[in-house]
């Protein structure tokens, strides 16, 4: 059994059958063919933008393979047997999962191969090796693979290269480039392509139960660049408040740098201490800014106006968004941003990128 159940429960969005999965038709057909021909085993890397449905697909695969009533090739797990119920509840003994703990910046090696003085006595790789308890095979799911460091990745190599017969290992990450070559080369890559805007809106409505209007959802999806989780965050009330207070500043003929700084900093502060959450909060703020200035530029173009200041502010917001990912000092980044927005400068230090 998994020694530390730190993984977020796999079930999400209430999708319990392949027919309810939004998008990914091609992947679904491929899986049906592979599972149908009994050749579906080994290690796979499941990649796609956040919120696109990777964990849902992993859960559906587990259910399909471990259902005790319907044979896998039907691709119709019954949903009622003990196997299905346990996969759904995240308690199936033959589903091994590991994920980055919320308070860590990477996946600790001990979650993979056990404590330093007792290697392979616990952890993901050990659990994969143990014989299935309920059925014939095991499904191992490693989430948050973007956060694997080299040593941890190396500890996985044997497991990925030679999983026990019939075992399926699903490694989940946002894109291939973020995975170490050692991992990439040992997995077959399964891509979850981006969802259409319509599908994304449907997903946000049904799975995330957000009751915002169609336009608001479309706006958020556009703002978030297709990242469903970010769009959902933008649609929640906390972000509404952020958007309102920021928009008020952006609309003013003389935005107040101190206020902009305070609004963004307090939004980031509310996100908590974890770096990833704080970065997400910053991204939300800069996305709202980008959307605002992009829209304003469009309106101006429509009225045959051209305002250098709007362009500079849009440019500055795009740059800020990029800086978030480069791990720039957060307080400094927000402060410089607020100052540049107020002064309508791009903040480009001579174009030396
Ligand atoms: Zn079943």
**Ligand 1 centroid – CA 263 distance (Å):** 50
The residue among 226, 336, 352 whose CA lies nearest residue 287 is: 226
**Ligand 1 centroid – CA 49 distance (Å):** 29
Q: How confident is the model at residue 349 (pLDDT cuts 50, 70, 90)?
A: low
**Ligand 1 centroid – CA 42 distance (Å):** 22
Look at residue 351 and tell me whether its pLDDT is greater than 60: no
Report the alpha-carbon distance of residue 207 to residue 59 in Å, rounded: 15
**Ligand 1 centroid – CA 325 distance (Å):** 42
Radius of gyration of the chain (CA): 23
Contacts of 276 (CB under 8 A, 6+ apart): 105
- What is the secondary structure of 275-314 as a DSSP string? HHHHHHHHHHHHHHHHHHHHHHHHHHHHTT---HHHHHHH
**Ligand 1 centroid – CA 88 distance (Å):** 10
**Ligand 1 centroid – CA 244 distance (Å):** 48
**Ligand 1 centroid – CA 346 distance (Å):** 57
DSSP state of 253: S
**Ligand 1 centroid – CA 71 distance (Å):** 9
pLDDT at 3: 38
**Ligand 1 centroid – CA 147 distance (Å):** 33
Q: How confident is the model at residue 5 (pLDDT cuts 50, 70, 90)?
A: very low
pLDDT at 237: 73
**Ligand 1 centroid – CA 64 distance (Å):** 8
**Ligand 1 centroid – CA 61 distance (Å):** 12
pLDDT at 221: 87
Contacts of 161 (CB under 8 A, 6+ apart): 43, 186
Q: How confident is the model at residue 350 (pLDDT cuts 50, 70, 90)?
A: low
**Ligand 1 centroid – CA 89 distance (Å):** 13
**Ligand 1 centroid – CA 255 distance (Å):** 59
**Ligand 1 centroid – CA 53 distance (Å):** 21
Does the domain formed by 18-191 have CATH 3.40.50.1370?
Answer: no
What pTM was estimated for this model as a whole?
0.75
**Ligand 1 centroid – CA 96 distance (Å):** 18
pLDDT (tens digit, 9 = 90+) per residue, 119-148?
A: 999 999 999 999 999 988 999 999 999 999
**Ligand 1 centroid – CA 85 distance (Å):** 7
Contacts of 162 (CB under 8 A, 6+ apart): none
Contacts of 89 (CB under 8 A, 6+ apart): 9, 11
pLDDT (tens digit, 9 = 90+) per residue, 212-253?
A: 788 888 888 888 888 898 888 888 877 888 999 999 999 998
Cβ contact 80:153 at 8 Å:
no
């Amino acid at each position: 059994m998994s020694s530390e159940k730190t993984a977020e429960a796999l079930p999400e969005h209430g999708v319990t059958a392949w027919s309810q999965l939004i998008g990914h038709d091609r992947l679904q057909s491929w899986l049906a063919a592979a599972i149908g021909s009994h050749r579906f085993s080994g290690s796979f890397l499941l990649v796609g933008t956040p919120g696109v449905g990777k964990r849902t697909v992993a859960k559906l695969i587990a259910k399909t393979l471990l259902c005790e009533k319907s044979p896998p090739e039907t691709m119709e797990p019954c949903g009622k047997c003990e196997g299905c119920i346990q996969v759904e509840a995240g308690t199936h003994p033959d589903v091994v999962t590991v994920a980055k703990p919320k308070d860590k910046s990477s996946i600790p090696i001990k979650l993979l191969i056990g404590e330093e003085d007792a290697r392979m006595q616990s952890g993901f790789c050990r659990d994969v090796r143990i014989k299935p308890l309920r059925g014939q095979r095991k499904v191992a799911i490693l989430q948050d693979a973007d956060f694997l460091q080299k040593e941890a990745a190396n500890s996985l190599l044997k497991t990925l290269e030679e999983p026990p017969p019939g075992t399926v290992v699903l490694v989940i990450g946002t894109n291939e480039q973020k995975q170490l070559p050692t991992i990439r080369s040992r997995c077959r890559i399964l891509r979850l392509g981006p969802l259409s805007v319509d599908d994304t809106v449907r997903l946000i409505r049904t799975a995330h139960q957000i009751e915002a209007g169609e336009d608001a959802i479309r706006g958020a999806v556009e703002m978030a660049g297709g990242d469903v989780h970010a769009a959902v965050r933008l649609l929640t009330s906390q972000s509404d408040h952020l958007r309102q207070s920021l928009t008020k500043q952006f609309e003013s003929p003389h935005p107040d740098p101190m206020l902009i700084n305070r609004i963004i900093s307090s939004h980031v502060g509310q996100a908590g201490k974890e770096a990833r959450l704080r970065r997400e909060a910053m991204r939300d703020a800069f996305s709202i800014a980008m959307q605002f200035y992009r829209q304003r530029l469009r309106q101006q173009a429509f009225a045959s106006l051209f305002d250098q200041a709007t362009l500079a502010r849009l440019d500055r917001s795009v740059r800020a968004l990029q800086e978030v990912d480069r791990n720039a000092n957060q307080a400094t980044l927000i402060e410089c941003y607020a100052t540049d927005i107020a002064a309508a400068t791009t903040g480009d230090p001579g174009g030396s990128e």
